[in-house]
């Protein structure tokens, strides 16, 4: 197809603007990585762009030696791993019955769940429930109240409903139980949505911040989000780190480089899984968007 | 079991007399309701834990809101604490500080919606006009990414970029001979960073739904417009935008329903003492004064007020959506 002059200009401007928008998402990350890997003088002088100036791993060494980042990283993994496992299991167990036309009171239960989306849960009554159950200061306070996201459940339910009923009937005539039907037919057919929800739950647990602030008071159980937030907001924490370390020129660090190293530790796992799950989530988002 | 039921039904059909037939139909119905019950047993077993979850962690906290009307204290618990009536609401509406916090919540979230609304549409329309698939895919990948960052990360990036000492933005300003600015410590620039970071984080991801809507527009409309000599801008104005109008209405209505939700994480990670005049919102107040300060009843009253306004807005928004045939339920 031949393009007119005005169309050519349109495409050039359009693509340029989109390129700039895309770069606005990429450059801060490169800058962060570069600062975390650069030498003291370059960072202090603000000379670091998107490429490390004088490669140095000091800030990561400081992070590992001077802060509980390893333990916190492990905590984040535990919170995320088990959280996703529990959430996926119970989201499936919620969505499957509700997707069946012959399930008793399915309308009643669905409305009951949708209502909880409309009327948000308050931090303080929720905290009082956690305290009454004795789960404050354990990770159960993160896992149990977030067990089933009503939104994710509705996404999965509407996907299950799209699976042709004939498939279920055929399996039932062959004598398959509901459990086997779910496990051997419905779930394998739902892998794209399951992958999407795993991503959403995983990101949610990895990033969980407010729930940790409220429910976890024992600092040895903090996750990365809380530790990194402390490092960003709390100047004195970083200064105390600097006092511990020997003040030799090649081992000096700016608060910026420690901060950016901390953020990188939280960011890298996300960046690693993102490309693998990316192809699924567009589909998942759209199923959810069509109708709840 | 299944084959036996079918045998009964089949037998019923083959009988000649009407009475026998009616009995067979009743039997078949009984068999069906029995079979329905049998099929429901495993489903109920699956669903039972889910019911427990929703009661304990969704409905009980809803009832727990009652402490907004009680002088809650630890010793007497929720039910034993003395009633306070509307005391906390009277305190709330007579206290200039809490009125300022409610106002901040309302203004920040309303502006967030108004300012943020056009960007996903703009991105979707622009992405739709990209003809090279690899370029479109790469830009999409980058634009979706910030959605998955926590506000701790985005806040950290904002502090790094706009922080006064070694921030990248100030480095650029210094390079051009200007004076460094404390962007995060001035109300105006703080607000810009607040809204800008929200757009940066979510606009790309929100564009997904508009992209899907655009892809369902009949391509022949574009061909016809192009043959009639419509420029790219005219095609966007007369084909693309009208084509996604229903989705735009729906998204606007949904977001109006969330007007009271500024979100805790964003404010908490971007705020500082200097801008607290504009940055204190109900959710951060509940955390600092309620959870940390132990003023449970007072802050629950405020949160309940927020939740009720939110509910009214959601229900109202849905009513509005019904007028456009876009209701959510």
Q: DSSP of B97-161, one letter per residue?
A: HHHHHHHHHHHHHHHHHHHHTHHHHHHHHHHHT---HHHHHHHHHHHHGGGGS-HHHHHHHHHHH
Q: What separation in angstroms does the CA of A57 have from each of A64, B108, B156?
A: 11, 41, 20
Whether residue A276 lies within 8 A of chain B, CB to CB, comes out as: no
Q: How many helices and strands, by DSSP H and E, does chain A display? A: 16, 0
The residue-averaged pLDDT of B35-47 equals: 86
Tokens read off for A30 = 């490169």
B215 vs A: CB within 8 A: no
Angle between helix axes A224-233 and A255-290 (nearest 10 degrees) is: 130
Contact A90 B49 (CB under 8 A): yes
User: How far apart are alpha carbons B296 and B39 in whole angstroms?
Assistant: 46
pLDDT digits (tens, 9 = 90+) for A238-283: 666 665 555 555 567 778 888 899 999 999 999 998 888 777 777 6
What is the four-CA torsion angle of B227, B228, B231, B233, rounded to 10 degrees?
A: -110
Q: Which of residues 183-202 of A touch B (CB under 8 A)?
A: none
As to burial, measured by CB atoms within 10 angstroms (0-12 exposed, 13-18 middle, 19+ buried), residue B131 is exposed
Q: What is the pLDDT of residue B123?
A: 96
Using an 8 Å Cβ cutoff, are B166 and A43 in contact? yes
Give the position of tokens 């890298």.
Answer: A268
Banded model confidence at residue A292, pLDDT cuts 50, 70, 90:
very low
Residue in B58, B127, B249 to test binding to A, most A beta-carbons within 10 Å = B58
- Cα–Cα separations (whole angstroms), residue A149 to A201, B17, B233, B307: 9, 56, 41, 18
The pLDDT of residue A22 is above 70: yes
Residues 6+ apart with CB under 8 A from B286: A122, A123, A124, B299, B300, B302, B303
Decide if A122 and B64 are in contact by the 8 Å CB cutoff: yes
CB contact under 8 A, B40 and A103: yes
Which residues are paired to B95 by β-bridges?
Answer: none
* B14 exposure class (CB count in 10 Å sphere: 0-12, 13-18, 19+): exposed
Judged by DSSP in three states, B92 sits in helix
- Please write the tens of the pLDDT for every residue from B95-120: 999 999 999 999 998 899 899 999 99
Query: How far is CA B187 from each of CA A38, B184, B271, B278, rounded to the nearest angstrom?
Result: 33, 8, 11, 7
The per-residue pLDDT for range A198-222, each reduced to its tens digit, is 988 999 999 999 999 999 999 999 9
List beta partners, residue A291. none
- The predicted-structure confidence for A58-103, as pLDDT tens digits, reads as follows 889 988 988 889 999 999 999 999 999 999 999 999 999 999 888 8
What is the band of B2 on the pLDDT scale with cuts at 50, 70, 90?
very low
> What's the pLDDT score for residue A128?
93
Token pair belonging to B164: 């006064």
Confidence of residue A287 (pLDDT cuts 50, 70, 90): low
User: Which tokens belong to B80?
Assistant: 């034993």
Model confidence at A160: pLDDT above 80: yes
In whole angstroms, what is the distance from residue B228 CA to residue A65 CA? 69
A170 interfaces chain B, CB cutoff of 8 Å: no
Looking at the predicted structure, is the pLDDT value of residue B33 above 90? no
A17 inside 8 A of chain B by CB = yes
pLDDT digits (tens, 9 = 90+) for B119-163: 999 999 999 999 999 999 999 999 999 999 999 999 999 988 887
Residues B190/B195/B200/B201 CA torsion (nearest 10 deg): 100
**Which of the four pLDDT bands, split at 50, 70 and 90, describes residue A28?**
very high
Average pLDDT of chain A, as a whole number: 86
pLDDT by residue (tens digit) across B253-302?
A: 778 767 666 789 999 999 988 888 899 999 999 999 999 998 999 999 99
Cβ A21 vs Cβ A27: under 8 Å? no
Check: CB of residue A272 under 8 Å from CB of residue B145.
no
CB B286 within 8 Å of CB A123: yes
Q: The complex's ipTM?
A: 0.89
> Given a cut of 90, is residue A140 above it in pLDDT?
yes
User: Which residues make beta-bridge pairs with B83?
Assistant: B70
Interface test with B, best of A107, A109, A124 (most B CBs within 10 A): A124
CA B75 centroid distance within chain: 37
Of A49, A228, A127, A202, whose CA–CA distance to B300 is shortest? A127
B37 vs A127, higher pLDDT:
A127
Which pLDDT belongs to residue B144? 93
Q: Which of residues 143-162 of A touch B (CB under 8 A)?
A: 144-145, 147-148
To the nearest whole number, what is the mean pLDDT of chain B? Answer: 86
Angle at A93 between CA A90 and CA A97, to 5 degrees: 150
Q: Are B260 and B103 in contact (CB under 8 A)?
A: no
pLDDT digits (tens, 9 = 90+) for B61-91: 999 999 999 998 888 888 888 888 899 999 9
For chain B, how big is the Rg over CA atoms in Å? 29
Q: What is the pLDDT of residue A11?
A: 92
Q: For residue A277, what are its two tokens? A: 């799950």
Give the number of A-B residue pairs with CB atoms closer than 8 Å: 249
State the DSSP code for A57.
-
Please state, in angstroms and rounded to a whole number, the distance separating the CA atoms of residues B291 and A213: 10
Please state, in angstroms and rounded to a whole number, the distance separating the CA atoms of residues A16 and B129: 12
Q: Are B72 and B290 in contact (CB under 8 A)?
A: no
**Rounded Cα gap, residues A264 and B152, in angstroms:** 12
Interface test with A, best of B61, B268, B274 (most A CBs within 10 A): B61
Give the residues across from B70 on adjacent strands. B83
More confident residue, A76 or B13: A76
Q: How far is CA A165 from CA A87, A93, A160, A181, in A?
A: 26, 18, 10, 12
């Amino acid at each position: 197809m031949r393009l007119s002059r005005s169309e050519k200009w349109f495409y050039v401007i359009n693509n340029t603007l989109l390129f700039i928008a895309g770069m606005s998402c990429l450059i801060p990350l490169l800058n962060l990585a570069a600062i975390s890997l650069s030498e003291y003088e370059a960072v202090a002088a603000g000379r670091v762009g998107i490429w490390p100036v004088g490669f140095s791993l000091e800030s990561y060494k400081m992070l590992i030696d001077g802060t509980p980042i390893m333990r916190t990283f492990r905590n984040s993994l535990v919170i995320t791993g088990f959280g996703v496992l529990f959430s996926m299991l119970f989201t499936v167990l919620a969505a499957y019955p509700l997707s069946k036309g012959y399930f008793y009171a399915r309308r009643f239960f669905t409305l009951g769940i949708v209502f909880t989306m409309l009327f948000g849960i308050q931090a303080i009554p929720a905290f009082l429930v956690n305290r009454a159950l004795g789960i404050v200061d354990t990770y159960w306070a993160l896992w149990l109240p977030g067990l089933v996201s009503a939104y994710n459940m509705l996404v999965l339910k509407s996907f299950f409903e799209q699976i042709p009923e004939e498939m279920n009937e055929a399996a039932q005539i062959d004598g398959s139980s509901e459990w086997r039907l779910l496990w051997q037919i419905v779930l394998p057919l739902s892998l794209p949505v399951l992958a999407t929800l795993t991503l959403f739950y995983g990101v949610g647990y990895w990033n969980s911040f407010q729930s940790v602030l409220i429910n976890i008071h024992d600092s040895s159980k903090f996750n990365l989000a809380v530790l990194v937030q402390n490092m960003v907001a709390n100047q004195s924490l970083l200064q105390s780190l600097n006092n511990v370390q020997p003040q030799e020129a090649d081992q000096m660090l700016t608060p910026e480089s420690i901060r950016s190293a901390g953020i990188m530790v939280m960011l890298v796992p996300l960046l690693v899984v993102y490309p693998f799950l990316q192809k699924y989530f567009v589909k998942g988002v759209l199923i959810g968007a069509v109708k709840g | 079991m299944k084959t036996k039921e079918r045998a009964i039904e089949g037998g019923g059909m083959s009988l000649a007399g009407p009475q026998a037939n009616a009995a067979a139909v009743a039997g078949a119905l009984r068999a069906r309701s029995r079979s329905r019950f049998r099929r429901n047993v495993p489903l109920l077993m699956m669903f039972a834990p889910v019911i427990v979850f929703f009661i304990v962690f969704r409905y009980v906290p809803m009832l727990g809101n009652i402490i907004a009307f009680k002088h809650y204290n630890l010793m007497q618990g929720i039910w034993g604490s003395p009633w306070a009536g509307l005391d906390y609401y009277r305190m709330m509406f007579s206290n200039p500080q809490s009125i300022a916090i409610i106002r901040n919540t309302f203004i920040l979230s309303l502006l967030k919606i108004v300012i943020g609304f056009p960007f996903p549409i703009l991105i979707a329309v622009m992405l739709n006009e990209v003809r090279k698939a690899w370029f479109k895919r790469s830009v999409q990948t980058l634009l979706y990414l910030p959605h998955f960052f926590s506000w701790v990360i985005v806040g950290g990036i904002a502090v790094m970029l706009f922080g006064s000492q070694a921030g990248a933005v100030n480095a650029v300003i210094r390079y051009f001979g200007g004076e460094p600015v404390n962007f995060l410590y001035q109300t105006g620039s703080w607000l810009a960073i607040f809204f800008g970071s929200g757009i940066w984080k979510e606009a790309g991801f929100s564009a997904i739904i508009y992209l899907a809507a655009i892809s369902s527009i009949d391509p022949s409309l574009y061909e016809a417009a192009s043959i009639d000599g419509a420029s790219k801008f005219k095609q966007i104005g007369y084909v693309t935008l009208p084509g996604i109008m229903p989705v735009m209405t729906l998204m606007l209505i949904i977001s109006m329903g969330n007007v009271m939700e500024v979100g805790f994480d964003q404010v908490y990670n971007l705020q500082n003492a200097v801008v607290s005049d504009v940055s204190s919102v109900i959710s951060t107040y509940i955390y600092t004064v309620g959870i940390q300060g132990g003023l449970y009843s007072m802050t629950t009253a405020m949160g309940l007020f927020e939740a009720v306004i939110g509910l009214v807005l959601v229900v109202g928004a849905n009513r509005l959506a019904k007028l456009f045939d876009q209701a959510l339920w």
